[in-house]
């Protein structure tokens, strides 16, 4: 069974640009959550989607958004990139709403210059 797949793995963007990251969950998993990981702040919850609906949201500005498609694949978008958005963005999936084991992808490394 394939794991959680995130694309792209690495990318470099310029301040002010926008970026879209993609996540394909494990087959059969309906919940997808996103996390931002930085050395200073650790692992911070961005949002969670279940059946195409955002169910939980972390404390991030509106520049961070996401969506989930009918096949459970998810995308997150960051607009008007800032240097501080440089981070590892991790996607995780689970069978149902978060509460049990979540399975992480390898992450997307975003560098903003």
Q: Which residues bind another protein (CB under 8 A)?
A: 4, 33, 35, 42-43, 45, 55-56, 88, 90, 92, 97-107, 109
| CB-nearer residue toward another protein: 75 or 106 | 106
Which CB atom, from 79 or from 103, has the smaller least distance to another protein? 103
Smaller CB distance to another protein: residue 55 or 79? Answer: 55
Look at phi and psi of residue 95 and say left if phi exceeds 0, alpha if psi is from -120 to 50, else beta: alpha
* Residue 102: CB minimum distance to another protein, A: 7
Closest by alpha carbon to 71, among 39, 55, 93, 56? 93
CB 26 within 8 A of CB 108: no
What does the alpha-carbon distance between residue 33 and residue 76 come to, in Å, rounded to a whole number?
Answer: 10
| Closer by beta carbon to another protein, 11 or else 79 | 11
User: How crowded is residue 7: how many other Cβ atoms within 10 Å of its Cβ?
Assistant: 13
| Smallest separation (angstroms) from another protein to the CB of 4 | 7
Min separation Cβ 17 and another protein, Å:
23
CB of 64 to another protein, least distance (A): 17
Token pair of 44 as six digits: 């911070």
């Amino acid at each position: 069974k394939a794991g959680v797949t995130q694309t792209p793995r690495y990318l470099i963007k310029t301040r002010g640009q926008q970026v879209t990251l993609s996540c394909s969950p494990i087959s059969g998993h309906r919940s997808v959550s996103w996390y931002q990981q930085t050395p200073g702040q650790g692992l911070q919850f961005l949002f969670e989607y279940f059946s195409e609906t955002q169910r939980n949201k972390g404390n991030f500005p509106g520049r961070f958004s996401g969506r989930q498609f009918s096949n459970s694949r998810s995308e997150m978008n960051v607009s008007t990139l800032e240097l501080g958005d440089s981070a590892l963005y991790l996607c995780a999936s689970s069978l149902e709403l978060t509460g049990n084991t979540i399975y992480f992808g390898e992450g997307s490394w975003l560098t903003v210059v």
